[in-house]
């Protein structure tokens, strides 16, 4: 239900007259006024449980102390939070909570930031009335990311409420009664949520702590740097905490307009990949098929000479970059390419349709998503692709918004959907045509000739009805459109539907820092070739920036075959040095990772957020922008006289973003009987760092490795339950469209 207008009241709290809204809880008013009220179960982003009773306060006229979290303020109310009555009640609760709590603070990772420890300092006693033995609660493992020590649990139920209310998956709960109450997972598989790490943050004691961080350092020993997470389009605000030059932990930083107080697990735990054994630490060159370590001067000169010797025409040079690069790296790399004379520039390595017209800008902000009354999700599993944007959609759904989806598989969303239209990729265009025609018929508008033979079904009409009646709706389309050969036509059709129904658009086909790439025009212009064209053309040299040849391309085999040609010279700026890169490159220039360099991220809203290096880069690795600058100098290119990355950022932000226009296009002819495959990497295999984060890979989501197809499709291609498809185990389900295989895996692409 939508919030209603409330009246203003006046109350007295600790002798101070303050204004408040009718119905505000006492604890929220106290927080706003800077008055400290102890609490454990209360959290500003969760529902009120009122089960710890630590926040008891004295309300004039009421005999017993009242919980501040669940007591609404009333006009004229007089409240005391620190008089004898309130203090006595709070200390009694504190004593009760400590009856069974273990005395293991010296080894608890929560030490130094433990709410129980802090409150006990003021409200605890050195002598207890209770002298019975403490109970011990056996632990149940809940996955690779969260360490449980449930003997420390005080039954605040924050973790339970977070799962039910924010993550949208009821995974934790209380079992038993009285002395036997335990908080534990319902399922033996452990926690399944992509936001599970936030349970660590909301836990006020050391019952839930970070498993990768266990016994790594004390909180007061670490240096915390404000930073920006790079995996989701929102650019979640984080603290990167380091000890002795190594990142030890990443935690959320409050920013209500971006990530509130939450972050996704891949943003929280991906730092583990920084210390992987495959880190590129020294420059390397390949001479006569053998790799040799060298110094920076020789490696850079080798790279520049290789480009000059192989490229007789500037158009023979191709420049490709990861979508997770920084704004500064994108800007300098495209500047180097264009100064050199080539327009062969691209970051869209995982897309099949690369026409400029296929890009459609979002017309809604993160905050606005929460207030929508309807959402149509097309070609996207938002929960795993964009967890923090999905969280906003879920909030809208809980507030009464209806949600419909059009996907090739019925995904396990964490909110209720009204209609789920199951359609294969090759039939998606015709499905959207049917919905558009239904809209035009219902609104009595002219029907164009290309829709004359289209016949909307019942579900098409139902979706059309919701789009028409929506007053503040949005069409969300996601990553599955990247691999659809008709993505341009589909995008144009989505735009027409949005225009006809006056709906907003949320384009989630992009990820990482793609908005920065678009800002500085890191795409070909004029006669320049896109990523796919470069791989199919007679290019003689490539510069790859943080690119993984096995994972980043929509056709990995095509990319590998191209880079492995004897007449092709490849310069790789990379944070990691693996077998695939060594097969495909001639020079490896070790580049600092995201956490080890300053940079800038542009998020879904177009918000520019800069960050500093959290730690020094290991070995001889250097920030990407510095490597590019020196390469440009050695190529005798002008305009690279930068002293620090802020100068690059300022110049980059003056760039004019390319203007995209919708293009009329004919849909490609696709045989409906043809089986199509959509290969999507598991959420923790999307970039170089997450792929090497051990705990993420061992989590339930990290181990996703399935090819999903219907019974009919399995019969058509001769597969059964125990078979493999492209090296991936299969699951035969009726939740998958016909003539379609959805491969969701953490493996390298087999194509």
Instruction: Please spell the DSSP secondary structure of 344-388, one letter per residue.
Output: -EE--TT-S---GGG-------HHHHTT-SEEEEES--HHHHSHH
| DSSP result, 397-434 | HHTT-EEEEEESB----SS--SEEEE--GGGHHHHHHH
pLDDT band at 157 (very low <50, low <70, confident <90, very high): very high
Given a cut of 50, is residue 702 above it in pLDDT?
yes
* Residue 258 contacts residue 236 (beta carbons within 8 Å): yes
Q: How many CA atoms lie within 13 A of 47 on its CB side?
A: 9
Please check whether residue 512 is in contact with residue 324, taking contact to mean a CB–CB distance below 8 angstroms: yes
For range 705-712, the mean pLDDT: 96
Quote the tokens at residue 301. 């000169």
| Band of residue 486 on the pLDDT scale cut at 50, 70, 90 | confident
**Band of residue 105 on the pLDDT scale cut at 50, 70, 90:** very high
- In this structure, what token pair is assigned to residue 240? 């990167």
pLDDT attached to residue 672: 56
Ramachandran category for residue 97: left, alpha or beta (phi over 0 → left; psi -120 to 50 → alpha): alpha
At 169, list the tokens.
Answer: 């998956």
E strand or H helix that includes residue 240 = strand 237-243
Mean pLDDT value of segment 593-597 = 93
pLDDT of residue 186: 82
| pLDDT category of residue 667 using cuts at 50, 70 and 90 | very low
Total Cβ atoms within 10 A of residue 12: 14
Contact 404, 417 (CB under 8 A): yes
Indicate the pairing of strand 317-321 with strand 569-574.
unpaired
Task: Encode pLDDT of 174-205 as tens digits.
Answer: 988 888 889 988 877 788 899 999 999 999 99
Compute φ and ψ for 544, nearest 5 degrees.
Answer: -110, 130
Q: Which tokens hold the place of 613?
A: 């290096």
Contact between 605 and 592 under an 8 Å Cβ cutoff? The reply is no
Tokens of 656: 């004019």
Predicted local confidence at residue 294, as pLDDT: 97
Asked if 157 contacts 41 with a C-beta cutoff of 8 angstroms, the reply is yes
How far out from the chain centre does Cα 168 lie? 16
Q: Which residues partner with 725 through β-bridges?
A: 728
Q: Which two tokens stand for residue 235?
A: 């650019």
Q: Cα–Cα distance between 401 and 37 in angstroms, integer?
A: 35
pLDDT at 355: 58
Cβ-based neighbours of 160, under 8 Å, separated by 6 or more? 172, 173, 174, 183
CA nearest to 634, candidates 300, 319, 306, 332: 300
Burial class of residue 628 (count of CB atoms within 10 Å of its CB; 0-12, 13-18, 19+): buried
Residue 540's nearest CA partner among 342, 320, 317 is 317
Q: For all residues of the chain together, what is the average pLDDT?
A: 92
Closest to 261 in 3D by CA, of 162, 173, 171: 162
Q: Is the pLDDT of residue 449 over 60?
A: yes
CA torsion angle 664 428 346 659 (round to 10): 40
Asked whether residue 665 carries a pLDDT value surpassing 50, the answer given is: no
Please give the pLDDT value at position 483: 85
Query: For residue 15, what pLDDT band results from cuts at 50, 70 and 90?
Result: very high
Residue 292 neighbours by CB under 8 Å, 6+ apart: 284, 285, 286
pLDDT at 32: 94
For residues 156 and 51, is the Cβ–Cβ distance under 8 A? yes
Angle, CA 318 vertex, CA 684 and CA 270 arms, to 5°: 15
Structure tokens at 736: 């998958």
* Chain segment 323-352, per-residue pLDDT in tens: 999 999 999 999 999 999 999 999 999 887
How far apart are the C-alpha atoms of 721 and 733, rounded to whole Å?
10
Please state the length of the chain: 751
**Residue 163 burial (10 A CB sphere; 0-12, 13-18, 19+):** buried
Predicted pLDDT at 4: 56
With a pLDDT cut of 90, the percent of the chain lying above it is 83
Cβ neighbours of residue 282 closer than 8 Å, sequence gap 6 or more: 293, 294, 590, 619, 620
Cα angle 202, 203, 205 (rounded to 5 degrees) comes to 145
Is the per-residue pLDDT at 662 higher than 90? no
When pLDDT is averaged across residues 12-29 and rounded to a whole number, the result is 94
HEC assignment per residue over 109-130: CCCCCCHHHHHHHHHCCCCCCC
Confidence band, pLDDT 50/70/90 cuts, at residue 49: very high
How would you label 599-613 residue by residue, b for 16+ Cβ within 10 Å and e otherwise? Answer: bbbbbbbebbbbbeb
Interval 664-670 mean pLDDT: 47
Cα torsion 741, 742, 747, 751 to 10°: value is 50
**DSSP code of residue 296:** H
Tally helices (H) and strands (E) across the chain.
22, 31
- Listing from the earlier edge strand, what are the strands of the sheet with 706-709? 676-681, 740-745, 706-709, 728-732, 724-725
Helix (H, G, I), strand (E, B) or coil at 64: coil
Lowest-confidence pick of 132-146, 352-366, 687-701:
352-366
Distance, CA of 171 to CA of 233 (rounded, Å): 27
Tell which residue, 480, 462, 474, has the closest CA to residue 382: 480
Compute the C-alpha angle 704/705/708, nearest 5°.
105
Range list of H helices, 412-513: 428-442, 458-469, 487-501
Q: What is the pLDDT of residues 346-382, one digit of tens each?
A: 999 988 766 544 568 899 999 999 999 999 999 999 9
Predicted confidence at residue 359, as pLDDT, reads: 67
Task: Classify the C-alpha dihedral 562-566-569-574 as positive or negative.
Answer: positive
To 10 degrees, what angle do helices 624-634 and 327-340 make?
10
Using DSSP's 3-state secondary structure scheme, residue 286 falls into strand
Count Cβ neighbours within 10 Å for each residue of 246-258 and write b for 16 or more, e otherwise: bbbbbbbbebeeb
Q: What is the DSSP letter of 271?
A: G
CB 213 within 8 A of CB 109: yes
**What average pLDDT does the segment 506-529 reach?**
92
SS3 content of the chain, % helix, strand, coil (to 5): 30, 20, 50
C-alpha separations of 632 from 241, 330, 339, 625 in Å:
34, 14, 9, 11
Nearest one of 273, 264, 239 to 113, comparing CA atoms: 239
Structure tokens at 74: 């009333």
Mean pLDDT throughout 298-316?
95
Is a pLDDT exceeding 60 seen at residue 2? no
């Amino acid at each position: 239900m939508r919030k209603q207008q409330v009246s203003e009241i006046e109350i007295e709290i600790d002798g101070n007259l303050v204004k408040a809204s009718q119905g505000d809880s006492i604890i929220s008013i106290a927080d706003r006024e800077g008055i400290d009220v102890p609490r454990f179960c209360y959290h500003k982003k969760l529902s009120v449980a009122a089960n710890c009773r630590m926040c008891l306060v004295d309300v004039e006229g009421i005999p017993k102390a009242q919980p501040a979290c669940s007591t609404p303020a009333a006009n004229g109310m007089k409240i005391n939070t620190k008089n004898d009555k309130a203090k006595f009640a709070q200390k009694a609760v504190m004593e009760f909570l400590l009856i069974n709590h273990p005395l293991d603070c010296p080894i608890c990772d929560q030490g130094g930031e433990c709410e129980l420890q802090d409150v006990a300092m003021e409200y605890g006693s050195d002598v207890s009335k209770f002298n019975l033995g403490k109970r011990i609660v056996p632990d149940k493992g809940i996955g690779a990311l969260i360490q449980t020590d449930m003997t420390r649990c005080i039954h605040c139920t924050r973790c339970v409420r977070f799962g039910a209310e924010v993550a949208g998956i009821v995974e934790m709960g209380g079992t038993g009664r009285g002395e036997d109450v335990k908080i534990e997972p319902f399922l033996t598989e452990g926690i399944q949520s992509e936001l599970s790490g936030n349970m660590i943050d909301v836990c006020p004691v050391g019952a839930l702590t970070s498993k990768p961080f266990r016994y790594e350092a004390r909180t007061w020993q670490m240096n915390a740097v404000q930073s920006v997470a790079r995996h989701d389009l929102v650019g979640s605000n984080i603290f990167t905490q380091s000890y002795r030059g190594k990142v030890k932990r990443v935690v959320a930083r409050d920013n209500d307009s971006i990530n509130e107080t939450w972050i996704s697990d891949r943003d929280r735990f991906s730092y583990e990949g920084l210390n992987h054994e495959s880190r590129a630490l020294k420059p390397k060159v390949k001479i006569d098929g053998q790799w040799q370590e060298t110094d920076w001067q020789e490696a850079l000169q080798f790279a520049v000479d290789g480009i000059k010797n192989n490229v007789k025409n500037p158009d023979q040079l191709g420049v490709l970059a990861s979508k997770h690069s920084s704004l500064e790296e994108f800007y300098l790399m495209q500047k180097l390419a264009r100064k050199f004379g080539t327009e062969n520039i691209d970051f869209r390595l995982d897309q099949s349709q690369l026409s400029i017209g296929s890009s459609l800008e979002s017309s809604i902000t993160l905050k606005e998503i929460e207030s929508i009354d309807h959402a149509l999700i097309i070609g996207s599993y938002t929960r795993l692709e964009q967890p923090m944007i999905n969280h906003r959609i879920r909030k809208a759904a809980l507030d009464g918004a209806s949600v419909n989806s059009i996907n090739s598989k019925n995904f396990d969303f964490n909110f209720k959907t009204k209609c789920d239209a199951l359609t294969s990729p090759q039939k998606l265009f015709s499905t959207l045509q049917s919905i558009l025609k239904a809209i035009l018929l219902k609104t009595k508008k002219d029907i164009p000739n290309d829709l004359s033979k289209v016949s909307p079904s019942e579900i098409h009409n139902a979706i059309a009805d919701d789009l028409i009646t929506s007053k503040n709706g949005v069409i969300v389309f996601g990553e599955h459109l990247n691999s659809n050969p008709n993505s341009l036509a589909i995008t144009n059709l989505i735009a027409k539907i949005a225009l006809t129904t006056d709906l907003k658009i949320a384009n989630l086909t992009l990820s990482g820092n793609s908005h920065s790439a678009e800002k500085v025009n890191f795409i070909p212009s004029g006669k320049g070739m896109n990523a796919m064209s470069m791989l199919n053309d007679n290019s003689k040299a490539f510069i790859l920036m943080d690119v993984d040849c096995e994972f980043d391309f929509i056709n990995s085999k095509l990319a590998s075959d191209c880079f492995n040609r004897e007449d092709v010279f490849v310069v790789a700026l990379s944070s990691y040095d693996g077998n695939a890169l060594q097969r495909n490159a001639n020079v490896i220039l070790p580049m600092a990772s995201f956490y080890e360099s300053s940079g800038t991220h542009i998020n879904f809203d177009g918000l520019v957020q800069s960050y500093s290096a959290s730690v020094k880069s290991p070995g001889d690795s250097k920030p990407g922008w510095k490597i590019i600058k020196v390469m440009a100098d050695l190529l005798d290119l002008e305009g690279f006289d930068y002293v620090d990355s802020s100068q690059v950022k300022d110049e980059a932000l003056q760039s004019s973003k390319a203007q995209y226009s919708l293009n009329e296009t004919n849909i490609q002819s696709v045989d409906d009987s043809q089986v199509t495959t959509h290969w999507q990497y598991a959420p923790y295999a999307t970039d170089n760092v997450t792929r090497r984060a051990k705990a993420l890979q061992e989590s339930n989501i990290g181990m996703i490795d399935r090819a999903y197809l219907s019974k009919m499709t399995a019969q058509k291609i001769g597969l059964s339950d125990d078979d493999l498809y492209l090296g991936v185990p299969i699951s035969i389900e009726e939740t998958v469209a016909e003539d379609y295989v959805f491969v969701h895996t953490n493996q390298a692409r087999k194509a």
